[in-house]
A and B are shown apart, each in its own frame.
Chain A
Amino acid sequence: MVTDRSKLGFYLLISPLLLWLVTLIILPHIGLFAVSMSEKVGVREYETGFGNYAVFFNEPLYWRTFARTALMSISTTVLTLLLGFPIAYYIAKLTRGRTKTTLFLMCLIPFWVSELVRTFGWMILLRETGILSNFLQYIGILAEPVEFLYNDAAIMVGLVYTSILFMIVPLVTTLDSLDDSLIEAGYDLGGSGFSILREIVIPHAMPGIVSGCIVVFMLSLGNYLTPILLGGKDSLWFTGLIYTQFITRFNWELGSAFGFLLLGLSSAVVFLGLKLSRQSLSNTMGR
């Protein structure tokens, strides 16, 4: 009787999970793959094959955009790590109590706000009639208005801004758990600031660094708003191509192939990151 009832409870608990994962995650991705493998040969006639993937590799615009998106996402990740690490270290090790909570909260607040609003802020700052251009004219560095928007640097500024929190939070968590006495011991043994950073702090923070880098890379790769709004007419982003194929051109077959390539790249990076750092998905993402 008791086992029967707990069996029933078990099935009641597992069914929403299965329903969610099967209908919204697994089947859609199988469907996406199936569509990416079908080539249109006539009106409502399709053939199975790698044709859509061949189109991607034969058209330089497509694979160049893919490579560009990947490279810029990698640069964003490196830049975010370099900029975020000192901040995370400061919050975790050099502040205490209330200051610490306040600083941490100040990092969090911008990310409760829509990405659209943040990007809009950068547009106001960087455009030709914007704050930065006016400010530089005011202090005499520039003679006339300069357009800071619509270039790759603007995209990078926006991407770093959008994703830096996801670097800082895991870093603060891992650095918090590093015992101060280990650093003191390092100094007592005659270590320099740099060697202590390299041999004590960074190895300890590795799990945080890896999970931060994975999330930041993924967010940049899959970003649509920032490159579209801050980048110029020819600064293409791969998600933009997917959108064009799906919504503007209505070529779902090619769009699905693009989608799968992007998914493949992001999964490969996650997998490599986890393997290199000997972490598991449950440890890094499950928190």
Chain B
Amino acid sequence: MIPTVPQSSAMKWSYRAYVTLFFIYLALPLTVVCAFAFNDSLFPSLPWEGFTWAWFFGNEAPFIGVFHERSILRAIGTSAFVAFWVSSLSVTVGICNAFLFVRHDFRGKGFLYILMLLPLIIPGVILGISILVFASAVANTLEDATGLWFDGLRPGLILVILGQFSFITTFATLVISARLQKFDLSLEEAALNLGASKWGAIRQVTLPFLLPAIVGAGVVSMLMSFENFNTTLMLVGSDAPLTIAMFDKLKLGSTPVLNAVSLLLIVGSAALGILSLIFQRVKE
């Protein structure tokens, strides 16, 4: 079943049909979500009542569009805040980890590397509850000892950021290490020969080389943070990020506003993803 081996045309065509069907299966849910963002009806279902922009810009009840729906706007803001901190933290720690694992040899390196990979195989819900339990235990102990309140350790945005950071860092580390491994050390030595300091050589030679991977890791972290649900669900306090807010609305009943938000999310993440791919291709 490779191009150089002849095959019956019935076989070839049924294979193609299967691949086509598969891509329809992939595209169908997203297409439907986007299409119903424009349906002039109170429910995201058939019949089709005509085209409208109301679910984006409407400001008269019951047609309140996304851009006038306070709770959604606030949730987007919360998500962006969380995503910013998660991606900055994980990329920073990811760069350190990459240098540590690629450039240094030390006792227990293999063991630490396995530990570093563990968050990949721990289900998100478990990560969430373990951090919840641990943070509450620490908060209780501290409060009993000092008599002060430690709100940061109770469910809320700080715990959400820490929870997402705890597994997204692994992805950032893997992406950045992969690129650092391809780096030719003689370039750094050349910079040192020309009189650069160790830090200067890293800043002016190695980090620019790593830039595509750093940007890539940042984008991946943002997307993962924005769409994370399982870990966030267990750690969330009163400020709900977008996925949690949408989930709460969805449980009450779906309206086309959710389709409109979803459309914005699809366009946003596809654009971000493709941009980062293009950026990496240009750089390489």
Contacts and interface: CB of A to CB of B under 8 A. Distances in A.
Interface of A: 5, 10, 12-14, 16-17, 20-21, 24-29, 31-32, 35, 83, 86-87, 89-90, 93-94, 103, 105-110, 112-118, 120-125, 127, 129-131, 134, 161, 180, 183-184, 187, 193, 196-197, 214, 218, 221-225, 229, 239, 242-243, 246-247, 252, 255-256, 259, 262-263, 266-267, 270, 281-282, 285-287
Contacts of B106: 10, 14
Contacts of B119: 25
A25 B118 contact: yes
B69 to A, nearest CB: 16
Nearest to A36: B133
A259 B115 contact: no
Contacts of A239: 123, 125, 230
A219 B254 CA distance: 26
B145 interface: no
A116 B246 contact: yes
Given A121-B33, A125-B28, A131-B46, A270 B134 contact: no
Nearest to A271: B121
A24 B166 contact: yes
B244 to A, nearest CB: 9
Nearest to B131: A28
A223 B29 CA distance: 19
B185 interface: no
Interface residues of B, number: 88
Interface of B: 1-5, 15, 18-19, 22-23, 25-30, 32-33, 36, 43-46, 92-93, 96-97, 99-100, 104, 106, 110, 112-127, 129-135, 137, 162-163, 165-166, 169, 174, 178, 198, 223, 226-227, 229-230, 233-234, 242-243, 246-247, 250, 254, 258-259, 262, 265-266, 269-270, 272-274, 277
Contacts of B5: 183-184, 187
Q: Which has the most chain B C-beta neighbours within 10 Å: A83, A255, A259?
A: A259
A23 to B, nearest CB: 8
A242 B274 CA distance: 37
B4 A161 contact: no
Given A161-B25, A221-B123, A121 B233 contact: no
A182 B276 CA distance: 36
Nearest to A14: B100
B43 A87 contact: no
Contacts of B269: 112-114
A180 B2 contact: yes
A116 B247 contact: yes
Nearest to A131: B32
Contact of B121 (A114, A184, A214, A223): A214
A282 B29 CA distance: 35
Nearest to A9: B198
Given A13-B99, A106-B23, A112 B273 contact: yes
A267 B121 contact: yes
Contact of B130 (A17, A29, A123): A29
24 contacts: A17-B112, A31-B133, A32-B126, A90-B15, A90-B19, A110-B26, A113-B270, A115-B227, A116-B247, A120-B29, A125-B29, A184-B4, A214-B121, A222-B126, A222-B230, A229-B250, A239-B123, A246-B234, A247-B234, A263-B122, A267-B121, A270-B121, A282-B113, A285-B117
B162 A24 contact: yes
A31 B229 contact: no
B4 A243 contact: no
B46 A112 contact: no
A39 to B, nearest CB: 16
Given A13-B99, A17-B93, A25-B119, A117 B229 contact: no
Nearest to B114: A281
- The listed residue with most A CB atoms (<10 A of its CB), out of B5, B29, B234, is B29
B124 A28 contact: no
Given A114-B229, A129-B45, A224-B230, A281 B117 contact: yes
Contacts of A125: 28-29, 32
A69 to B, nearest CB: 11
A239 B123 CA distance: 10
A117 B2 contact: no
Contacts of B134: 27-28, 31-32
A17 B124 CA distance: 20
A252 B258 CA distance: 33
Given A214-B121, A222-B123, A246-B132, A287 B30 contact: no
Which 5 A-B residue pairs are closest in the complex by CB-CB distance?
A121-B29, A222-B123, A28-B130, A114-B227, A28-B134
A196 B2 CA distance: 12
